[in-house]
Amino acid sequence: MSKDAMDRIVSLAKRKGFVFQSSEIYGGAASVWDYGPLGVELRRNVADAWWSAMVHARNDIEGLDAGILMHPRVWEASGHLSGFTDPLVECKRCKKRWRADHLEAGGLEDAGCPRKPSVAPGGHGDCELGEPRLFNLMFKTFMGPVEEDASVVYLRPETAQGSYVNFLNVQQTSRQRVPFGIAQVGKAFRNEITPGNFIFRTREFEQAEMQFFVRPGTDDEWFEYWRDERMKWHRELGIRAHKLRFHEHGPNELAHYAKTALDIEYEFPFGWQELEGVHNRTDFDLARHQEFSGKRLVYVDPAGAGRFLPYVVETAMGVGRAALVALVDGYREEEVQGQKRVVLGLNPKLAPVKAAVFPLMKKLGLPEIARRLQSELRSARIPAAYDQAGSIGRRYRRQDEAGTPWCVTVDGRTRDDDSVTIRDRDSLQQVRVGLGAVAGWIRERL
């Protein structure tokens, strides 16, 4: 898929109300995006699919929703204050900034020198790239009315720390035994040096992270387990298998807390990039919180199977990034009966609208029947749209672009035998279903 295809996806996302530039009427806030009516549904559906697989379907993972603001000592203990940095390189001539590690890796497509003609950073004779300097990615703000050093707090750059400091709270109240996990979905903030590629890298984003606490010595096995589980999840969501791969971190890529780490990567139009990380964080975080807080975080097995500081295997996915993968992977342009159509082939589970109901004509009582059907679907918790504008063909196209899997048409025959036509977005096949059976028919397929 070309870069051009990415532009078409971005423009579709805006045209259909998936994603808008933040504060657009003021010229836009750099790298912040707002999710519109369809986008917010898509993003919630991604998060819900994750939550149901990670929390609801399992006995060994509990949910948590910790605050974005935490005690500032958390970030000293976690190592983020001293170590959550990216190497920043600035060109003294044009003032453009890059991440040194991205330049070494060959640079992303959008990381070129801004001056014409286009060349790699540093490529013009008079470019002056400075030495890399470390830049901390955490956003700072103040807690309370006084803006002084003592009241500095940080917007969390990951949800994980909330799970570590609550490890014993969750374990004891839920009466879980190790191995077990804590899952969170929530906002995280990073003052990225080079945000970009639409919603791929932003400064405010949502994470779906799970910390799995295990007995030391079993961590390598659990790491492999979670690596495979997470890949399976992406595939089962319908992401094409050949677009997904593992990338193991070499010694120079490992984060300060990690013993082993790998990325699940997706092939975006701008290259293979991380979609999710799986990390063996050892007992680094719990040991540090124990040291910095002075509180014991040792796990005492209720069945007398020992006391120890658990190791942690983490899975960390960006929800917006996974939504972008769904958009990119599902986007197709094809020809149907000599006409071009754009389709978002989203998994029905992720589709913002599951069904659209059309009256074939604006007469004979068809709109009333269609409206009634739409409201029945809504009562059955199936997000359903209604559209009576323009030809049926145009209405199909509108729904194809929104990723709606099924279109239901109420026509003259409906009045005689209470049946409607359901048209499938991908196969284009049409079936006749009884009015009262539509909700069940759709539910079965979700």
Residues that bind ligand ATP (CB under 6 A): 158, 190, 192, 201-202, 205, 207, 274-277, 316-318, 320-321
Q: For residue 320, what are the contacts with CB-CB under 8 A and spacing of at least 6? A: 33, 43, 199, 202, 205, 206
Comparison of 159 and 419: residue with beta carbon closer to ligand ATP: 159
Comparison of 158 and 411: residue with beta carbon closer to ligand ATP: 158
Q: For residue 306, what are the contacts with CB-CB under 8 A and spacing of at least 6? A: 215
Comparison of 43 and 423: residue with beta carbon closer to ligand ATP: 43
- Work out how close the CB of 206 gets to ligand ATP at its nearest, in angstroms, rounded to a whole number: 8
- Work out how close the CB of 43 gets to ligand ATP at its nearest, in angstroms, rounded to a whole number: 12
The 10 Å CB-count burial string (b at 16+, else e) for 73-83 is ebbebbebbee
- Work out how close the CB of 425 gets to ligand ATP at its nearest, in angstroms, rounded to a whole number: 27
- Work out how close the CB of 202 gets to ligand ATP at its nearest, in angstroms, rounded to a whole number: 4
91: left (phi over 0), alpha (psi -120 to 50) or beta: beta
Q: CA-CA distances (angstroms) from residue 397 to 61, 334, 394, 408, 425?
A: 41, 12, 5, 14, 10
- Work out how close the CB of 317 gets to ligand ATP at its nearest, in angstroms, rounded to a whole number: 5
Comparison of 161 and 202: residue with beta carbon closer to ligand ATP: 202
Comparison of 318 and 330: residue with beta carbon closer to ligand ATP: 318
- Work out how close the CB of 255 gets to ligand ATP at its nearest, in angstroms, rounded to a whole number: 7
Is there a contact between 91 and 128 (Cβ–Cβ < 8 Å)? yes
SS3 74: helix
- Work out how close the CB of 198 gets to ligand ATP at its nearest, in angstroms, rounded to a whole number: 10
Tokens of 46: 């991604």
The total number of residues written for the chain in this structure: 446
Comparison of 279 and 423: residue with beta carbon closer to ligand ATP: 279
Residue number with the smallest Cβ distance to ligand ATP: 318
- Work out how close the CB of 101 gets to ligand ATP at its nearest, in angstroms, rounded to a whole number: 8
Q: Whose CA is closest to 313, among 248, 260, 351?
A: 260
Comparison of 265 and 376: residue with beta carbon closer to ligand ATP: 265
Q: For residue 205, what are the contacts with CB-CB under 8 A and spacing of at least 6? A: 187, 188, 189, 190, 199, 318, 319, 320, 321
Omega before residue 359 within 30° of 0, cis: no
- Work out how close the CB of 323 gets to ligand ATP at its nearest, in angstroms, rounded to a whole number: 10
Comparison of 261 and 438: residue with beta carbon closer to ligand ATP: 261
Comparison of 160 and 382: residue with beta carbon closer to ligand ATP: 160
Cα 257 from chain centre: 23
DSSP 243: G
Strands (E), 39-172: 61-63, 85-90, 97-99, 133-136, 140-142, 152-154
